Chains A and B, each alone.
Chain A
Amino acid sequence: MKIAIPVDEKSLQSNVCVSFGRTPYFLIYDTDTKKSVFVDNGAAVSTGGAGIKAAQMIVDSKASILLTPRLGENAAEVIKAAEIKIYKTTTAAAQDNIEAFIAGKLPLLNEFHAGFHGQRGN
């Protein structure tokens, strides 16, 4: 089973990034091999729809679990279409969140925020 987490740094001790679409990296942790891979988030610099593109990357990484503090509606639609389960992280480091998830201590994330593309002004 592969677990995906948005992280601020390329390290298991990294914080979980507060923004799913704009995170610099995703940590993909494989619970079978115990290996971690860090992938650059190409969506971080895109002008719009970052959440959708980032979600596509998670799907392509073959993760079946996503741990994230929050998620936009569009990204959630992609993630759910791929039948990936979404859990809400705590403020602890990425590794602690993985352990908490394995121990069954993270709740499912089921509130998704509206996209920001409709924002006014610039």
Chain B
Amino acid sequence: MRIAVLSGKGGTGKTLISVNLAAVAKTSIYIDCDVEEPNGHLFFKPGNIQEEEVSVLIPKVDEKLCSGCRKCVDFCKFNALAYIKDKLIIFEEVCHSCGGCIMLCPKKALTEKEKVIGKVQKGTSDNVTVNTGILNTGEASGIHIIKKLLNNNTEIDKQTFIDCPPGSACIVMESIKDADYCVLAAEPTMFGVHNLNMVYELVRLFKKPLGVVLNKCLEEENPAEKFCFEKNIKVLSRIPFDNELGILNSNAEIAVRKSEKYRAMFSSLLATVIKEVHHETASDSQR
């Protein structure tokens, strides 16, 4: 069972929720797909770390063969190529590894070369297998790292929690593609509603079942809650705004491992999510 946790921007409690869900489950897999700023490992502090580099294929040019026809330059949708003073310049960080230019060069002057763009790490923290993807700074896209993370963790019998990158770019789509259920984290402000709507639209596009966790809840009216009510979205849990949780979080402690109160809260959230997933699969098979 794969549960993806998403939010429109960072800092809405996405990591808090996915880390604590993974920690409260009996045995689980946690996958940090926020490859530009992975921080789940700061909470889990996993041991026995194994590392694997991730590389992509990018073009390299043999200047003796290149005729300067510029077909590759015109073709590249990402503008990763320029032809200046009888020389092809390749902007490796801009290249998206589509391979098009290599296929198309009439002089076969372009060939593939491997370039390391980051790495994946696997370690353990008590009951949780912790997976972290790390994209080197300046690299164009973490998609390959996310693919690697998800392919390395395909045991469907284990409860798997995917901490997605913020926003709604294609890297987020990659992260939720194979998820059975999406948990959306939302803050109780108008801006929070805007962000929530953004990811809500994305998840709907993928026709994934979803529910919302309202984070930082206060006594007053919650625009995010109102949004869920209007759109008929299931509210899975309300996490109150309190100091204890804030302190645990800023000390990079996992709340459910420190406090019975939060263990109970996230256990019940997990139970709700599992019930929703089963409900969805049941209604799926009826269709």
Contact = CB atoms under 8 A, between A and B. Distances in A.
Contacts of B77: 46-47
B73 A56 contact: yes
Interface in B51-77: 73, 76-77
Given A77-B89, A81-B87, A120 B79 contact: no
Nearest to B167: A121
Contacts of A59: 82, 84
By secondary structure, the B interface counts as: loop
A53 B167 CA distance: 27
Interface in A47-74: 47-50, 52-53, 55-56, 59, 74
Contact of B89 (A78, A83, A121, A122): A78
Contact of B84 (A46, A50, A74, A81): A81
A82 B87 CA distance: 10
A121 B79 contact: no
B167 A120 contact: yes
B105 interface: no
A55 B73 CA distance: 12
B140 A52 contact: no
Output the residue of B37, B87, B89 with the most chain A CB within 10 A: B89
Interface in B152-200: 165-169, 198
A120 B80 CA distance: 19
A81 B77 CA distance: 22
B138 A52 contact: no
A43 interface: yes
A120 B36 contact: yes
A34 interface: no
B78 A49 contact: yes
Interface string B238-271: 0000000000000000000000000000000000
A56 to B, nearest CB: 5
A55 B82 contact: yes
Nearest to B36: A120
Contact of B80 (A49, A77, A118, A121): A49
B93 A115 contact: yes
Contacts of B138: 118
A53 B79 contact: yes
Output the residue of A46, A59, A120, A121 with the most chain B CB within 10 A: A121
Contacts of A35: none
A48 B94 contact: yes
Contacts of A49: 76, 78-80, 91, 94
B158 to A, nearest CB: 30
B166 A120 contact: yes
A115 B78 CA distance: 13
Output the residue of B79, B85, B138, B169 with the most chain A CB within 10 A: B79
A6 B247 CA distance: 51
A121 B166 contact: yes
Contacts of B229: none
Output the residue of A43, A81, A83, A122 with the most chain B CB within 10 A: A122
Given A78-B89, A118-B137, A121-B9, A46 B79 contact: yes
A118 B139 contact: yes
A50 to B, nearest CB: 7
Given A52-B91, A118-B138, A121-B166, A82 B84 contact: yes
10 contacts: A46-B77, A48-B78, A48-B140, A52-B82, A55-B82, A56-B73, A81-B89, A118-B137, A120-B166, A121-B9
Interface of A: 43, 46-50, 52-53, 55-56, 59, 74, 77-78, 81-83, 115, 117-118, 120-122
Given A78-B89, A117-B140, 13 more contacts: A48-B78, A49-B78, A52-B80, A52-B81, A52-B94, A53-B79, A56-B83, A59-B82, A81-B82, A117-B93, A118-B36, A118-B138, A122-B198
